[in-house]
Amino acid sequence: MLAALPSLETILQTIAAGLLVGSTYGLMCVALGLIFGIMRLINFAQGDFLMAGMYFASIVLTTLGLSGLIGGIPALVVAVLLAIPLFMLVGVALHWTLLGRIGRASQAMTEGELHQTQLIMTLGISLILANGALMVFGSTPVSLDTPLSTQAWVLDPFGEGEILVFLNKGRVAAAAVAVAATAGLYLLLNRTSLGRRLRAAADNPLAATYMGIDVTASHRITFGLGFALTAVAGVMVATFYPFQPYVGIDFVIVMYAGVVLGGMGSIIGSFWGGLIIGLVQQLSTLVLPTQLQGTTVFLVFLLILLVGPQGLFGRSVERA
């Protein structure tokens, strides 16, 4: 059954919601796309990295009481700034102790075998993180009471006061951080020597090694960056979304759909993929029952696989 014709206000509100939700999805997809694009690693623990960022925000804002000491918004800025180096280090340590050790044990190992071992390892990390959080934080959902989460900026696009568009402050802040973090990553990858080394390690690991680039170190930095970006997304999402130890699973499908839509291996493409998924998810409610909102993500996913498996910005040829 199709919904009745929506009003202009509803259409504008839905587009705004889609852009805001999509931007946050974009950052999550960028982090996953970075890890896959450079390391070719299928990371099943990505949703749990997001959860870790959410609980980190809860610790900084509520447990340590920073929100009460310096105010909600400054505390949030501190949480984001602390999350980047901290989770970068955790990511590097995880790669150093676990993931880096399951690479090519022998040169005879096929690409498929390598993916299988990585997949099992990240699945194991995911289970440990989720159940560890359950032991430490319990199963009761946590919700951060910040001024951003329940307040909105109200836009009056035609100046007549009849059509109003509400923009949730928490969502706007999360979208702004997502765009800034993606832009920062783009500049890092394209304008710095570190970025060139990372891209070289991704494009042709063997040639990069011949050129004196430490591919393992590049992967380690990439994994740390990916973890840090996901945790930043988690900190921002925590300002408006209640969470519990298994919250990651709610976002993993969206992340993969966004990365596939943007093109596996394309980091900027991943951002656009996430943004489009968010828009499709919200706009679908204008024509379909809300109950099918989640299904549209799978529809987009299937359509990409059928029509253009390389995605919007992906490469249609195998890497060298």
Partner 1 sequence: MSVLGRFGGSALVWAAASAVVITGALWPAQAQDQKVKVALVAPISGPMARAGELMRIGAELAIEDINAQGGIKALGGRQMELVVEDAGDKVETAKNAAQRLVANHSDLVAGTGSWSSSLTLAVTEVTERASLPWVTLSYADQITDRGFKYVVQTVPVASQLALDSMPTVLEMAEKVGGKELTSVAILSDSTAASQAFVKPLREGGFEKLGVKVVVDEVFTPPLNDATTLVQQLRSAKPDFMLFYSTSFPDAKLVLSKMNEFGLGKGKLPTVSVGVQLVSPEMLAAVGGELLEGLMVVAPNWTTKAQADILPELTKRSGEPWLGQDTISTYGDMWLIKDAIERAGSADHEPVMAALREMDRTDGPADYYLGDRLAFDENGRRVGGAVGIVQWQGGMPYLIWPTKDALKEPLWPSN
Q: Which residues contact 278 (CB under 8 A, 6 or more apart)?
A: 18, 19, 20, 21, 22, 23, 24, 25, 26
Please tell me whether residue 285 binds partner 1 under the rule CB under 8 A.
yes
In the complex with partner 1, the residue whose CB is nearer, 293 or 310, is 293
Q: Would you count residue 7 as binding partner 1 (CB under 8 A)?
A: yes
Place of tokens 């970025």: 195
> Closest Cα to residue 217, out of 209, 230, 207?
209
CB of 304 to partner 1, least distance (A): 20
**Pair of tokens at residue 267:** 């980091």
The answer to the question of residue 289 lying near partner 1 (CB under 8 A) is yes
> Which of these segments, 27-35, 68-76, 137-145, 225-233, binds partner 1 (CB under 8 A)?
137-145
Non-local (6+) Cβ contacts of 44 within 8 A are: 119, 122, 123, 125, 126, 252
Q: Tell me if 149 contacts partner 1 by CB under 8 A.
A: yes
294 binds partner 1 (CB under 8 A): yes
Residue 63 DSSP class: I
Q: Does 63 bind partner 1 (CB under 8 A)?
A: no
Distance CA 287, CA 209 (A): 53
Decide: is 216 part of the binding site for partner 1 (CB under 8 A). Answer: no
Distance CA 215, CA 202 (A): 8
Site for partner 1 in 155-174 (CB under 8 A): 166, 168, 171
Residue type, 78: V
132 binds partner 1 (CB under 8 A): no
256 near partner 1, judged by CB under 8 A: no
Asked if residue 131 binds partner 1 (CB under 8 A), the reply is no
Strands (E) across the chain are located at 152-155, 165-168
Query: Which is nearer to partner 1, 182 or 284 (by Cβ)?
Result: 284
The residue ranges that bind partner 1 (CB under 8 A) are 7, 9-10, 13-14, 16-17, 21, 138-143, 145, 149-152, 166, 168, 171, 240-244, 250, 254, 281-282, 285-286, 289-291, 293-294
